Structure 1
Amino acid sequence: VVLRPFNVYGPGQVGEGALSTFIQRAIRNEEIQIHGNGSQIRAWLYIDDMVDAVLLALDHPAAIAQSFNIGNPRAVTTIHGLVNTVLRILKSRSSVAFVRKDYADIELRVPDVSKAQRLLGYEAKWDLEDAIPKTAEYYARILNVPWPR
């Protein structure tokens, strides 16, 4: 079984993913940088939905020898829209700066999850409005930032 996750985020994430970086900077009211004009479109997948997909693939006989895109087609937004959503949900006073993008980027990255829906019964449950605060709670705890405000 092959699972291709799209932009997974949430508590425990390591590395420098865009949403992780935006949330960490927002809870500290630090400037958030957007590379380019922020028009790149992405679908965001909360970690609990990814875990559900893994469990379905492990348990479902129809998954054998198959590959699946795993993502949340309901959590689709531009990078600029994502930053605005993070700032609104977290009531952050962070400023936003657009910086030069010195690399090639994919403009549209949204998964077709219809095969996972059809064969596994996969359905993402978490939307950005509910998952961003849960992720912010995690980062506030590990970064020792008072939360919620």
Structure 2
Amino acid sequence: MTMKHFILTMTIGAMTLTGAALANAEVSNPAVKDRMDLMGTIRGSFAVLGGMAQGKVDFDADKATSAQATLVEAAAKIPAKFEPNEADPESEALPAIWENWDDFVDHAAALETAAAALDPSSLETVKAGVGKIGASCGGCHQTYRMK
């Protein structure tokens, strides 16, 4: 991943985090709110790692370890949270999720794998791992999330 692509991925992630927090307040369907909250957890953990990788916050191995563990745990929950084909006007989930369920689950597994592979012990290894996690998120969002 080039530095330009990395910075773009991180910028989009930060903008998404802000928008998602506002949208979650308006959600009326509990199942949709649950999955949006899960995605918010993922975004928050990714933001911690991304902030370190970008030099916006000081590297902290304990915080990186915690963020990585949260990402792995949350990614594993994606299929279960999305399995119910629930709708809400505030949801950004596209019907393609349920039309291409196996592919969607593969994307979730790819995120879990990328998060598990991240080595939180040094800034250099966090930088290397964040790019792969960001690419995993982006690959799924391009197909299964409203723009």
Which has the larger strand fraction? 1
TM-score category (smaller protein): 0.3 to 0.5
Scaled by the length of structure 2, the TM-score of the pair is 0.32
Higher RCO (Cα < 8 Å, 6 or more apart): 1
Q: Between Structure 1 and Structure 2, whose CA radius of gyration is higher?
A: 1
Scaled by the length of structure 1, the TM-score of the pair is 0.32
